[in-house]
Structure 1
Amino acid sequence: MKKILLLGANGQLGTDICFVFSSFPQYKIIKVYRRDLDVEKNDIHSFLSQIEFDIIINCTSYHKTDECEDFPAKSLVINSLAIGEIAKYCREHDKVLFHFTTDYLFDGKKSQPYRETDTPNPLNVYGISKLTGEHFIKNHLDQYFIFRVSSLFGKAGASGKGGNFVETMIQLGKQGSTIKVVNDQVMSPTHTLEIARAVFAFIDQDIQEYGVYHCSGEGECSWYDFAKEIFDQLNMEIDLVPVSHSNYPAKAKRPSYSVLDNVKINEIYQMENWKNSLTEYLSRKGHL
């Protein structure tokens, strides 16, 4: 039996990883919650040394993008320094690390999907801290998989964010008022269940081509297009109005285009089109 230590097991992504692996008794998921290990405050090496495992999947992250602007030190500790400590432990004890970063590593100046070989240039503190975490992993460890993900939605909802974009749109739609959604920021909505399936494929196939992989929903859309597709699939008649991001000033700058190219990961696990993943999500949540 392969033992997998899952940090952040009750988050949006961690929950779906637990769900996917639960059908396969040859894997044991050791669930770790923030109450067990707070990577901002606790001794990571001391904690990890008490547990027997083969692989770490790290789903811990400080991902409140605008809040990160106000707390850059906290962002650095959780998204960078703690990741470096995890990577050091994995090197010292010959463990494989799965870690997740973000499309916000890029500045949005491209008009074609970003590949793993493109040079990051983050526009905000969150992106800088996640990129720094990547550098720590690369400097300390050889056996790692970094999955860059984008615009997540999952059954459990994002901890601290009050759900996710899909649920927010559905709630607003039920109120019956006009909804304004940004149409000049383009990305790839990603179902966390798809990321979990990709992680499972890498482990189950014993993939050893370590490195960085882009892992997002196939296709691209603006947030307005995403909202429209949600309401179309639910047959909800909504007064939906496209607006510029300048209508909603935010502390953190966001790239106008952050679509990720999945060509590399698709050779191992074929990522689903975001519209199909949305249908599966809506069904799982009981909306369809």
Structure 2
Amino acid sequence: MNNDYFKRLNDLLTDRSELGPNAWCQGARAVNDWLQHLPLGNPENHAHRLLDGLKEMNDTHIDAQRRLAGLEAFRVALGNAVAALARQIRDETFPLPPSRMHIGATIQQFEREIVAGYLRVVCELAGTDGSVSFLRRGSVALALTRAIQHQSARLRVAYQTHSAAQVGVWQGLHDMFRFAVDAACDGKAQADPLLRGAKIDARGAYTQSILHAFAQPYHFIPAHNIELHAALPVLASLCAIGQGEAGEGAIAFCTEGDHAPPSPPRGREISSDALWQLDVSALLRALQAHDARATTVRIESRAGA
């Protein structure tokens, strides 16, 4: 196992304070109780209270399995808060007015904090060398999938606000996926309440993020990026990610370096280990077939008229 990815993920975490066993965030039941008592009158105040609570959870010493359960409960409320904030910039055009720029920054904070929480679970359940035991593989797979989903969300916020991705986001995303592959945790599908119970695994979440990047999202207004994101599960299901040089019908990208694909790292050679490809041949065939059917329908409609 190449534990360079694990070391870099560990480096993303900050030291914890020791708040003791009676902290409010000890597991899903305690988190749900705390969430139910949050005031809902002021949406902006509610969002800030959620963010403060998430930060406190991340800074608290909690058993990894309890932390994972608590995060799963927390992210449902988080998802609702982020969706409410995102709706405020959905119909904006670029550049965003100053009164709207802070919304993107707030969403980024949410996503960054929940990624940190899930990564802490990963690093605490894995061995010091990055190994993952069979009995812990399901929990690590869940935490990695969620971390990749929310790291990808940090990129979507950048697209929607037409701002650069924050430093370290792309390299962190690559490292999460590469560690998931090394730990055999990339293909364990998990039901996601934020996706109406649909299942997703680390590989699928990463594939969606890579495909989104290749779609040149900075060319879209926020509303169109939201529509593209909604279509990604279907589009990405027709794609495949694999290691090695890109063949016919595939696009090459590199997993070393803090940059969006397909840009390679500058000033140094790319190791064969870092060469990956996104095979879009099945997606292209499906799109071509769809276009052909649409053309046939239009011709038949005109003939019938």
TM-score (structure 1 length as normaliser): 0.30
Higher CA-based Rg: 2
More strand by share: 1
Higher relative contact order (CA 8 A, sep 6+): 1
TM-score (structure 2 length as normaliser): 0.28
More helix by share: 2
